[in-house]
Copies of this chain bind each other. A is one copy, B any other.
Amino acid sequence: MFRKLDLFIDMDAQERALLRSLLEQSREVPTGTALVKEGEGNEWSYVLITGWAHRHRTLTDGRRQLLNVVLPGDIAALDAHVISPAPASVTTLTACRVAVFAPSQTLQLIAHGPRLAASLLWMTAREEAFLGERLVSLGRRPAIDRVAHLFVELYHRLRLVGLAGNDEFVAPLTLEHVADALGLSVVHASRTFSRLRDMNLLVRRNAQIRILDLPALEARVEFPGLYLRRGLSPGERYLRGPFGPASPTSTPQASEDF
């Protein structure tokens, strides 16, 4: 399984090398490992290379809220370097391969130049957009649309990193995870999946998700998908100008796996 961090802007050779060096020391962790624990001072950040994880908060009485799902290529706890006690936990949902890196390395990345720094900013902003969308779901959408939106979003995110088939993918989430992500009870999450199946929109069998009617699902939730794409924003356009790729040997074009 190869990691596509082409989420970043097109990188020159030097930038690629720097990132590569971060990813070299990776380790394998089992299901259920707490990479970050909320409330504790966390020293490390992670790049998820393979497997799934999730970010979540737990209240004292046991209620839980899943904030986001962390997929291969995503960075977990980048904020660990700037926000002292971690505001949320990060736990693996499957066995994972993760690259661990220290604050000093993040700052090295930033110090290397504005292009990588802006990339980190972009990743963080993307995370924020995910949270915003989820907030719209919890605040203003009925259960069926919340579930629809979650899985349409997952579908697109997984496709981006080559982990989803044409209409199918594996999502190692229990009903409880879905419920905790969407502010529902497990019971109602179950009923909602039944409803989606009966409406011929989406089928969930164990961890297998099959999208039956993507257009219908996207229409339900007004899915623009814009916040997923790596559009050419003003900032990026600017980056290609004044600063430009640091090495003239690299042609600015869609980046490949590396």
How far is it, in angstroms, between the C-alpha of A41 and the C-alpha of B43 when the chains are bound?
A: 37
Asked if A106 CB lies within 8 Å of chain B CBs, one says yes
Once the chains bind, are A135 and B136 in contact (CB under 8 Å)?
A: no
A132 within 8 Å of B by Cβ?
yes
In the complex the two chains form, what is the Cα distance from A234 to B83 in whole Å? Answer: 9
Interface residues of A in 131-186 (CB under 8 A from B): 131-136, 138-140, 180-183
B117 contacts A110, C-beta separation under 8 Å: yes
Residues of B within 8 A of A139 (CB): 65, 138, 180-183
Does any Cβ of B come within 8 Å of A247's Cβ? no
Contacts of A242 in B (CB 8 A): 104
Indicate with 1 or 0, residue by residue over A30-47, a CB within 8 angstroms of chain B CB atoms: 000000000101110000
Report whether A65 and B136 are in contact in the complex, using a CB–CB cutoff of 8 Å: yes
Rounded to whole angstroms, the CA-CA distance of A132 and B239 in the bound complex is 30
- Docked Cα-Cα span, A128 to B131, in Å, equals 8
A:39-76 near B, CB below 8 Å: 39, 41-43, 55, 57, 59-60, 63-65, 67
Interface centre among A80, A133, A139, A236 (most CB of B within 10 A): A139
Contact A226 B87 (CB under 8 A): yes
Question: How many of A's residues come within 8 Å of B, CB to CB?
Answer: 70
A92-100, A119-127, A194-202, A209-217: which lies at the B interface?
A119-127
Q: How far is the CB of A37 from chain B (nearest CB, A)?
A: 13
Whether, in the assembled complex, A11 has its beta carbon less than 8 Å from a beta carbon of chain B, the answer is: no
Chain B residues with Cβ under 8 A from A134's Cβ? Answer: 135
Instruction: Output the nearest chain B residue to A85 by Cβ-Cβ distance.
Output: B226
Instruction: State whether the Cβ of A111 lies closer than 8 Å to any Cβ in chain B.
Output: yes
* Residue with the greatest number of chain B CB neighbours at <10 A, chosen from A114, A120, A233: A233
CA distance in complex: A43, B233 (Å): 8
Kindly state the separation between the CA atoms of A127 and B131 in the bound complex, as whole angstroms.
10
Is A113 a contact of B111 with CB atoms below 8 Å? yes
Is A129 an interface position by the 8 A CB rule?
Answer: yes
Shortest 10 CB-CB distances between A and B: which pairs? A81-B235, A84-B231, A139-B183, A79-B125, A82-B122, A138-B138, A131-B131, A84-B233, A103-B235, A111-B114
